[in-house]
Amino acid sequence: MIISFEGIDGSGKSTQAKLLLEKLQGEGRSVLYVREPGGTDVSERIRNLLLDPDVELDPFTEMLLFSAARSELVRTRIRDVQASGGIVICDRFFDSTVAYQGGGRQLADPLWLNDFQRSVTGGIVPDRTYLVRVELATARERLEMRFGEEEAEDRMEKAGGAFFERVIATYDRLADAEPDRFLVLDGARSINDLQRQITDDMKRLLAR
Ligand code: ADP
Ligand code: TYD
């Protein structure tokens, strides 16, 4: 079973992904936790390139690198865990590329990008995607708490508010288009509230 967490930077998705990991491990389940981009030696090297502020990347190249990191991760790790009946928790998966590169950067038609991602993963689609939805101002406040005001401003301002509004809108469209896969969570709620909602939903999924 593949579970992915999505949302803008500072939405609180990694907090929830890690809490779910602890909960499932506590139940004695075998779980692979991966964060994107990354999760394999090659993918971590691609991550360093993608997140290096000194490297200027053409937007299409950037999209292909995010996709290459994902292809490597799926084909060398995720597929095997899925085949043996384990659980994979992905802190971001291909919806991030559709929302950030398609919606945010507007580099390609999000519909085409969405189809392309099915080829990148060899047809693997998460069984459940938790979309942690927050307003931009909330995400910014949270990043300020985590990184300090200057770095948070840097991260958000480099891309700009309009960029993140487009990312949010694209995530919303993806969730509307696949209501059976997405569970949209109100990220303004407390960490405990959100965790409870996710745990309840996971119980239902695992009982299916
Ligand atoms: P993301 O992975 O989406 O970038 P994180 O999970 O790292 O976000 O959370 C960003 C910051 O916000 C962290 O300092 C975290 O403790 C805090 N945070 C996460 N979820 C909540 C929440 N529901 N309410 C308040 N603060 C939160
Ligand atoms: P990271 O430090 O992991 O941020 P976060 O804690 O918010 O997940 O950085 C990942 C950044 O890369 C984040 O800004 C989202 C972006 N990203 C894309 O633009 N496209 C993608 O396909 C993925 C996976 C991430």
- Per the rule left: phi > 0, alpha: psi between -120 and 50, beta: everything else, 102 is alpha
Q: Please list the residues that pair with 89 across neighbouring strands.
A: 3, 33
CA–CA distance, 33 with 15 (Å, rounded to integer): 13
State which amino acid sits at residue 134. Answer: V
Domain definitions of the chain by residue range: 2-207
Tell me if 163 CB under 6 Å of ligand 2.
no
Measured CA to CA, the distance from residue 168 to residue 34 in angstroms comes to 23
- Tokens for 99, please give them: 């929302």
pTM for this model (two decimals): 0.96
Mean of per-residue pLDDT scores for the chain: 94
pLDDT tens digits, one per residue of 108-151: 999 999 999 999 999 999 999 999 999 999 999 998 888 777 77
Ligand nearest to C-alpha 187: 1
Closest residue CA from atom 19 of ligand 1: 12
**DSSP-derived 3-state class of residue 29:** coil
Which is it for strands 182-186 and 128-133: parallel, antiparallel or unpaired? parallel
Domain 2-207 falls under CATH 3.40.50.300: yes
The binding-site residues of ligand 1, defined as CB within 6 angstroms of any ligand atom, are: 7, 9-15, 142, 145-146, 187, 190-191, 194
